[in-house]
A and B are shown apart, each in its own frame.
Chain A
Amino acid sequence: EVLLVESGGGLVQPGGSLRLSCAASGFTFSSYEMSWVRQAPGKGLEWVSYISDSGTFTYNADSVKGRFTISRDNAKNSLYLEMNSLRAEDTAVYYCARDRLAYFDHWGQGILVTVSS
């Protein structure tokens, strides 16, 4: 069974930093591209960041470009999202998702990030 479990969320002040982690199991992690998708409270879904299976290629949405960095450790079956210069509008549930041919076929349960003073 494919399992994705996010951790590292919480409350952070505007301008602060946070690092999200996603532990993957039940599939060959190193063979799959991965993404982070977020959902602001009561709002729709927004793709945030993508990483290739090897980790050599990454791409971010314009809304987080220059502030967020996606990375992975295939030896640890883990995906990460380093978030800097956080803003109130970054408040959302962040989902780790398996990115299969640019569709998201498996999702974690999500982790809440709240940016507030």
Chain B
Amino acid sequence: IVLTQSPATLSLSPGERATLSCRASQSVGNFLAWYQQKPGQAPRLLIYDASNRAAGIPARFSGSGSGTDFTLTISSLEPEDFAVYYCQQRSDWLRKTFGQGTKVEIK
């Protein structure tokens, strides 16, 4: 299953709303997660099963969607939110795949 993320880069200012998209090549139900990765760090799980926040994740992060189209929304960007975001599907759990990433950069 191929996951396509858009846009590749999102240039926004602190306080703005960020909307990231992930599209699957076939339905993955709601079996989709989102991760955040900062430079030099390991990824961190943000959202699982499309809309459930992982432990300790702030409420400004929310996920939505099902089937083939998913969205990660950051309601109001904090300075620490500028990073690369990846989606990942587990519908085909033996062949987990990631999207290519969306970089959220400071405008």
Pair from one complex: yes
Given contacts A44-B86, A101-B90, contact A107 B95 (CB under 8 A): no
Alpha-carbon separation in the docked complex, A10 to B95 (Å): 27
Judging by beta carbons under 8 Å apart, are B33 and A44 in contact? no
Judging by beta carbons under 8 Å apart, are A103 and B42 in contact? no
Least CB separation from A61: chain B residue = B95
CB < 8 Å neighbour of B98 from A45, A50, A101, A107: A45
Alpha-carbon separation in the docked complex, A105 to B37 (Å): 13
User: How many A-B contacts are there with CB distance less than 8 Å?
Assistant: 51
CB < 8 Å neighbour of A104 from B43, B95, B97: B43
Segment 71-117 of A: residues with Cβ below 8 Å from B: 95, 101-110
Whether, in the assembled complex, B88 has its beta carbon less than 8 Å from a beta carbon of chain A, the answer is yes
- Per DSSP, chain B at the interface is loop
- Per DSSP, chain A at the interface is strand
Shortest distance between the CB of B105 and any CB in chain A (Å): 15
Alpha-carbon separation in the docked complex, A103 to B62 (Å): 17
CB < 8 Å neighbour of A103 from B90, B94, B99, B100: B90
- CB neighbours of A108 from chain B (8 A): 42
Whether, in the assembled complex, A59 has its beta carbon less than 8 Å from a beta carbon of chain B, the answer is yes
Whether, in the assembled complex, B60 has its beta carbon less than 8 Å from a beta carbon of chain A, the answer is no
Question: A residues bordering B, Cβ < 8 Å?
Answer: 35, 44-47, 50, 59, 61, 95, 101-110
